[in-house]
Each structure stands twice: as structure tokens, then as C-alpha cells.
A and B are shown apart, each in its own frame.
Chain A
Amino acid sequence: MTTKDSNFKRPDGRKLDELREFEAKVGIIPNADGSAMYRSGDTIAIAAVYGPKKMHPQHSQNPEKGTLRCTYNMNSFSVSERIRPGPSRRSTEISKITEWALEPVLMLEKFPNMVVDIHINIIQADAGTRCAGINAAAMALAHAGIPMRDMVSSVSVGKLDKTIVVDLSKEEEDYEEGEGPTDIPISMTHSGNITHFQLDGKIEPKQLMEAIEMAKKACEKIYEVQKKALKDSINMEDTD
């Protein structure tokens, strides 16, 4: 299915369709209504959900359905060169992209005039932070008991020179040979619909369709881990 290039070696020796070592954990922030951690390689994202709660100020309330409000934030020390704390154009965009990625599966119509807040924090960054954030946030929403139609899983596919690979590391994101890197973060529902899709780089439509197919397979693996983490959190609470 995917582009096979037997000569291509990934810097960390992974197979083309191999995700980094990853893990998920649910219930990491006691104060939150729902919380989760998602780690892929050296990228670590945590997410906390607060709500549904009444939206303030009142004029921001939507009487038809609840509002999803997401903030994505990178810790200043999560990258090699310190980034200035506080919102940036980049983080503002990622926050919105995350809302759009998750909203299609949420039954917000059950919560008119309310707001569900998701706060995502990147503790350590090694590429793929928005995808890790979305994976953590989706679990945190389920953990908070927000009614959902489906789960959302997210992964960054990439084209390094001419080869499609999954779950880029920072080293791969900075790949400079041939056509260089093309970064393609994608989020999908478990039923296979695309709720988030971005791309930077250079690619032809045909190969992009292959990349989507690879993302779909990777998202299935991530979904299984998300599901297991959620089940484990329930078992833990039962034994308390």
C-alpha cells in the first residue's frame, strides 16, 4: 500500500510504518474532571478537562450547544532554545485546530450555555506535539465523562525526501536531504473520518493519499492504547 523504499533508513532505525515507543495514562491530575498523558518518544503532552461548567461571561453563552474551549501551551523549557512563555500565533492556531479536531465527536448539544475547557501542556517536545496533545485531550474528555460519539486519535505522517514514514521525530522533521521533510499531522475518528489535517512541505496528491492510509493504520494502534488507558483508569478507581 505505502511507498516502499527498502534503501531508506530512519535515523532511529524504525520501520517506515513504525510509531515511536508510546504510552498513555488516564487520571493524572486529581483536581481535573478528566485528565490524561500521552507520550510518543520524547514528546510528552498532558491534558486536563474542566467542565462542563457555566460559561462566563453570559453573552458568550450559546443556548443551542455547549462550547469547547482549548488552550495549547508549551512550557518554556520543553525545547532546546527557551520559548517565551505565553500565547503565540502558533499556539493560538494549534489551540483552535485542537478544538476542531475534537468537537465533531462531542455531544455538546447536551450542554447548552456551558463550556468545556481543555488545557494542554507540552512538558517535553520532540516533534508531533499537537498530535500528542490531541491524543491526551481526547482521553481526558472521555475520562471527564463528556458524552462522545467516537474517539479521536492523531499522528503526524511525514515524507522524508520521497519516502512516507509515520510519527516523525524532531531529527526527522529537520531532515535536509533530497526533497527535505513534509510534515502532515492528521487526526481521525475511529470510524475513519478526518477531523484535523495539516501539511507543510511538498507532495503530490497521489502520495498524499498513501500518507492518509498510513495515518489511518497508525491511528488504529493509538486508539487501542487510548482505550486500554481509559479501561485501566476505571479498574484503578474500582479498587480504591
Chain B
Amino acid sequence: MGGDEIEITPEVTAERIRKYLEQEKRFDGRKLDEFRDIIIEEDVSKKAEGSVRVKLGKTEVLVGIKMDVAAPYPDPPNKGNLMVTAEFLPLSSSRIELGPPKFDSIEVGRIIDRGIRESKLIDLEKLCIIEGEKVWTVFIDIYTINDDGNILDAAGIGAVAALKLAKIPKYDTEKKKVLYGEYEGKMPLRKMNPFAITVHKIGKHLILDPTREEEDVSETRITVGSSDGVIYSLQKGNSSYFSVEEIEESFKIVEKAWKELFKKVEAQLK
């Protein structure tokens, strides 16, 4: 918690959360390693190349994909570009204030970016139009609608789901114009699901998918971006530490949760 943030979860509630965890219990009756219900709604914006709404209990985020043609980076000149940004909208919580992006949103953007980039989910070489001159840029934009904790994991699931739905617009090479609304193919994706899953530590307990209150009590967290048991990105967040044993335990928790999430996401995207 930054010093200038208002702490909303009172200490009595925090105390109760910790006491419940001693008996392996949570306020909403979930197991420690259990996610809330996940609902994915497709095509929330017709103007996006792909978009979803992800609800994780009361937490809700929108993720949209936009594409545009731009010059590639000099290295490599034959690959499309990827940009991930997250915006924490003031409408999603009373704690979010207007103004330039705060660290939380920068971190969410960067963690999701790295999971997708490092796993090579998108075949960026197929997004090259003219080598060294024109490539597609894929923008993944994340907006929070209701923050009841674990925006990070909801955003990661949303990013993967939105990419699966995304189509590539037509590009008029003569007029050098993107013909939005007309499509010429699907987003080139590899067969994988690099979800970012975050394990939180409260006292000696490791939990998944915290609510707002639980997230406030969380002492530290580790976000693991993985698919089919292979880790592609990882970030420990917040002060306090993990022991080596807790890290090992976290990997097991993530692997199990990934399998369950995969089933749920697959079932809803068809």
C-alpha cells in the first residue's frame, strides 16, 4: 500500500480474515486455492478486432484488441509489434483517482505484456506486411469496470480470450489504409493459454483469487504466467518475502489452478 492511499479494509476485518485462514476458511466459503466463478462475455465492442468482458466474482474487466499498421522496430524488421496497457478507471472503485497512470496499472500492463510476449502466443512474424517497412501492431487494452480484487488475473484471462477472438482487418496497400470493419483472417496464435495466475501470501497461508479485502491483507504475491506446466513469466510483488519452500508450493498451486481455468475458459469460448 502506498502511503497516500486510503486504507479501506479495517483492521478488525483483516484480523478476521487471518483467523478464518487458520481454519482454512474464507468469508465466501471458497477453498484457499479456489477461484471465484468466471464468466466470459464475447464481443463487448463491435469496433474492436476482438473483445471480451471477464467477470471474476464481482471483479470485472474489459479487454479489447485493436490493430494498426506501423513501421517495425529495426530489430527484428519482420515482426509485428505488441502493446499492452491497462487503465484503472475511477468508475471501478472509490479508491481510484483521476490523473496520470499510477504504478498498479503500469504493472498490470507490463505483467500481461510479458506473459504474452515471452510465451510467443502471437505469431508476430505472420503480422509482417512488408519486411522493414510495414507490420501490424497489436494493441491489447485493459479497462477495469469493477475492482473487487485480483484485477491482474482477470486481465490476463481476458487478454488471452480476446486474442482468440481477434481478426485481422483488411489493409489497402495502395492507399496505405486499414479498412476497419473488413477482415482478412484470424489472429495468428499458437496453441497455448498463457494465463497469469497470482498466489497471495497471508500469514503462512497461500491463497488464490483474493477479493478486495483479502488483497488488502495480502503481504506479498507472486504472479506466474504459464501454459501447460511451462513458466514464461513471473513477478513477485509487494514487500515481505517468500521462503524457497513457499515458492515451490506456489508453482504447484498455479499448475493445478491453470488446468481448472483452462477448462472453464475453453468451455465458454465455444
Residues of A within 8 A of B (CB): 55, 59-62, 67, 89-90, 92-93, 96-97, 99-100, 103-104, 184, 189, 192-205, 208-209, 212-213, 216
- Rounded to whole angstroms, the CA-CA distance of A205 and B244 in the bound complex is 12
On whether the beta carbons of B231 and A193 are closer than 8 Å, the reply is: no
- Interface residue? B57 (CB, 8 A): no
Residues of B within 8 A of A (CB): 3-4, 103, 106-107, 109-110, 114, 118-119, 220, 222, 229-244, 247-248, 251-252, 255
Q: Which B residues are in CB contact (< 8 Å) with A208? A: 231, 251
- Rounded to whole angstroms, the CA-CA distance of A195 and B237 in the bound complex is 9
Q: Which A residues are in CB contact (< 8 Å) with B114? A: 200
The residue on B at minimum CB distance from A198 is B235
- Rounded to whole angstroms, the CA-CA distance of A90 and B222 in the bound complex is 19
Chain B interface mostly: mixed
Q: Tell me which of A200, A203, A213 has the highest count of chain B C-beta atoms within 10 A of its own C-beta.
A: A200
On whether the beta carbons of B233 and A200 are closer than 8 Å, the reply is: yes
- Rounded to whole angstroms, the CA-CA distance of A209 and B252 in the bound complex is 12
Known A59-B4, A92-B103, A205-B251; judge A199-B239 contact (CB<8 A).
no
On whether the beta carbons of B4 and A202 are closer than 8 Å, the reply is: no
- Expressed in whole angstroms, the minimum distance between the Cβ of A180 and any Cβ of chain B is 10
On whether the beta carbons of A198 and B107 are closer than 8 Å, the reply is: no
- Rounded to whole angstroms, the CA-CA distance of A110 and B39 in the bound complex is 46
Given contacts A100-B238, A197-B236, A209-B248, 11 further A-B contacts (CB under 8 A): A55-B3, A60-B3, A60-B4, A192-B244, A194-B242, A196-B236, A199-B231, A199-B234, A205-B231, A205-B251, A212-B247
- Expressed in whole angstroms, the minimum distance between the Cβ of A155 and any Cβ of chain B is 15
Question: Which of B4, B110, B243, B252 interacts with A194 by CB under 8 Å?
Answer: B243
Question: Which of B3, B107, B252 interacts with A96 by CB under 8 Å?
Answer: B107
- Rounded to whole angstroms, the CA-CA distance of A200 and B232 in the bound complex is 6
On whether the beta carbons of A93 and B3 are closer than 8 Å, the reply is: no
Q: Which B residues are in CB contact (< 8 Å) with A204? A: 229-231
The residue on B at minimum CB distance from A99 is B239
- Rounded to whole angstroms, the CA-CA distance of A90 and B113 in the bound complex is 12
On whether the beta carbons of B244 and A104 are closer than 8 Å, the reply is: no
> Which 5 pairs, one residue from A and one from B, show the smallest C-beta to C-beta distance?
A199-B234, A193-B241, A103-B239, A197-B236, A205-B251
On whether the beta carbons of A96 and B103 are closer than 8 Å, the reply is: yes
Q: Which A residues are in CB contact (< 8 Å) with B231? A: 199, 202-205, 208
Q: Which B residues are in CB contact (< 8 Å) with A93? A: 103, 106-107, 110
Q: Which B residues are in CB contact (< 8 Å) with A199? A: 231-235
